[in-house]
Amino acid sequence: MAGEPQADCLFCKIVAKEVPATIVRETDTTVAFRDINPQAPTHVLVIPKVHYPDAASLAAAEPQIIADILAESREVAAEDKVEDRGYRVVFNTGAGAGQTVFHAHLHVLGGRGLQWPPG
């Protein structure tokens, strides 16, 4: 069921503290942790504690949680001291966009120049 933890979801297991992660922030609705394959000096994933397969389904069902994730991205950038230099936030929605874990998540990237368009 949408919103419920999924037994086979890596990010649900991180939320449940069943799988270790380098958690940098946690709120009532979100968890932020360092990416295991960072693409920039700051590369943190901000995820909802509820399970939805992608950002689009989360936004349709629980738009306040999408807002919470975006607000946390700013907090992550501030704590990593990239807020003033600039940072990028990215939701990949679907395999064609590069999503590999099908639990909605936002990437916070910063600490180096980020070219446009991305690769």
Tell me, what's the pLDDT at 80?
97
E strand intervals along the chain:
23-26, 30-34, 42-48, 87-91, 106-110
Largest CA distance in the chain: 41
pLDDT at 113: 92
- How confident is the model at residue 18, as a pLDDT? 96
Instruction: Say whether 105 is catalytic.
Output: yes
- Out of 43, 51, 105, 107, which one is annotated catalytic? 105
| pTM for this entry | 0.95
List per-residue pLDDT tens for the chain, 119 residues long.
Answer: 678 889 999 999 999 999 999 999 999 999 999 999 999 999 999 999 999 999 999 999 999 999 999 999 999 999 999 999 999 999 999 999 999 999 999 999 999 999 888 76
Q: From 107, 94, 111, select the one nearest 46 (Cα to Cα).
A: 107
Long-range CB contacts for residues 29-37, cutoff 8 Å, separation at least 24: 29/64, 29/65, 29/68, 30/65, 30/68, 30/69, 30/72, 32/72, 32/75, 32/76, 32/108, 35/107
Q: What is the pLDDT of residue 1?
A: 60
Q: What would the two tokens of residue 79 be? A: 């704590």
